[in-house]
Structure 1
Amino acid sequence: MITISAFRWVPPFAQGQVRDLRARWALEEAGVPYRTRLLEPGDQDKPEYRALQPFGQVPILEEDGQAIFESGAIVLHIGERSETLLPKDPAAKARAVQWLIAALNSVEPHVMNVAVLMFYEGQEWAKLRRQSATDFALHRLGSLAKALGDKPYLDGDRFTAGDLMMATVLRIEPELIVDERLKAYVERCTARPAFQRALAAQMGDFRDAA
């Protein structure tokens, strides 16, 4: 059975955001059972964990002696088992991969530039940085909204792994989602039963550790 690593506890503001949620969601969409390996504080820095995840992050997917890290790589790996996530048609599959990588490379860094400033509130440099970081993130999200247009999903009527990844990225900093098309898009993606099950599982682990 697949094992996904996750933190046993994180601060409340991070609950529902930790990136093992992406792996859980993909597994729920694919209908693949899994279990979690919950890390206690400090476990991510132990040599045996760093041998599998050099940066001490979550998630890791472990199965049959193989370990994969990075949420994007894990979602793509799971997607090979699920036509919901990665269509069999080569062109449609390429577009799904394209949007997944766009979420991680073209959107997430700019969203995170805004999100991380919360850790430095009160510092002058952070005050000076916030407006430019926000403006650039909004510009990038405006481009995304234009590409989405009136379609239900990024590739039209069909939800794919690209939507899964993009929706998780857009959830990071909700205040940036000012375009009504993007708001509706995130709501549409996260209303999926597979997302709701994945979120409930992650939050359940945090509640059990409280």
Structure 2
Amino acid sequence: MTEARLQQLNGDSGPTITVFERSPDGGKGLARDMRVRWALEEVGQPYDVRPVSFAAMKQPAHRTLQPFGQIPTYEEGDLALFETGAIVFHIVDRHNGLLPLDATARARAINWMFAALSTIEPTIVDREVVLYLERDQNWFEQRLTLVEDRIRARLTDLSNRLGNADWLDGRFSAGDLMTADVLRRLGGSGLLEEYPNLAAYVARAEARPAFRRAFTAQREFFNAAAEP
């Protein structure tokens, strides 16, 4: 049983994150709360979840926490955060385990967190937008090709940097957590498999016990929400 579930049963105090009441990813762990769950599991921090419907996400009560009407949010005492990068940084900054103690190595790990969100993920999200919103357009195939070529350019650079290493900069860090989770969004596209070292990198990250606990927690939540 996950620490999150134990907290729900025992009433232990801890941060609360908001999640989709019914996640559109079908329980695949692709919603951005997965990154927060994973970070909390890595540092051994119990947490609770509060489901939010699509309608409630756009209401004033939720927008006071997340002004853009999205998930996740993070609440702990009088602190409320939004944006997964800021939330994960807050977690790893307060708890040992995902940032090196050496100041220089720590800065490099944070650098990779920003790179994952600012350089790698936007091109991947562009592909999702094309697939979901532009499929019926007569220029769909050309647009998809252009977007996937941009993704390949990012993956080529990342693959070259990773090389034969297990992780991006020595030991597994928050930079690897964010990068691997961003790359997971390419599942089923075939793009990641074009870079065997990156595919193996993601597989190593997904094999971590903390990831498995986080994935199981969100999957169980999705299945429970889907029950009639």
Q: TM-score range by the shorter chain?
A: over 0.9
Aligned length in residues: 209
**Any conservation in 2 of the 1:15–1:206 contact (CA below 8 Å)?**
no
Aligned to 2:191: 176
> How far does residue 81 in structure 1 lie from its aligned partner after superposition?
2.6
1:69 counterpart (73, 82, 97):
82
Aligned to 1:97: 110
Q: Does 1:122 align with 2:136?
A: yes
Q: Does 1:201 align with 2:217?
A: yes
Query: 1 CA distance for matches of 2:110 and 2:221?
Result: 30
Q: Secondary structure at the match of 2:66?
A: coil
Query: 2 CA distance for matches of 1:12 and 1:54?
Result: 23
Aligned to 1:187: 203
Q: Secondary structure at the match of 2:54?
A: coil
> How far does residue 87 in structure 1 lie from its aligned partner after superposition?
1.5
> How far does residue 112 in structure 1 lie from its aligned partner after superposition?
1.3
1:154 counterpart (145, 154, 168):
168
Comparing 110-119 with 177-186, which one deviates more in the overlay? 110-119
**Any conservation in 2 of the 1:84–1:159 contact (CA below 8 Å)?**
no
Aligned to 1:33: 46
**Any conservation in 2 of the 1:9–1:40 contact (CA below 8 Å)?**
yes
Q: Does 1:135 align with 2:149?
A: yes
Residues 172-194 of structure 1 show CA distances to partners (whole Å, capped at 9, x for unaligned) of 01322110000100000111010
Residues 134-190 of structure 1 show CA distances to partners (whole Å, capped at 9, x for unaligned) of 11110111000001111110002x000000000110010132211000010000011
Query: Unaligned stretches of 5+ in structure 2?
Result: 1-13
Q: Give the superposed CA RMSD.
A: 1.2
Query: 1 CA distance for matches of 2:77 and 2:112?
Result: 29
Q: Secondary structure at the match of 1:88?
A: coil
Q: TM-score, normalised by structure 1?
A: 0.96
**Any conservation in 2 of the 1:115–1:173 contact (CA below 8 Å)?**
no
> How far does residue 84 in structure 1 lie from its aligned partner after superposition?
1.8
> How far does residue 13 in structure 1 lie from its aligned partner after superposition?
4.8
Query: 1 CA distance for matches of 2:146 and 2:181?
Result: 23
Residues 61-88 of structure 1 show CA distances to partners (whole Å, capped at 9, x for unaligned) of 1001210100010110000133321112
Aligned to 1:11: 24
Q: TM-score, normalised by structure 2?
A: 0.88
Moved beyond 6 Å, runs of 4+: none
Q: Secondary structure at the match of 2:19?
A: strand
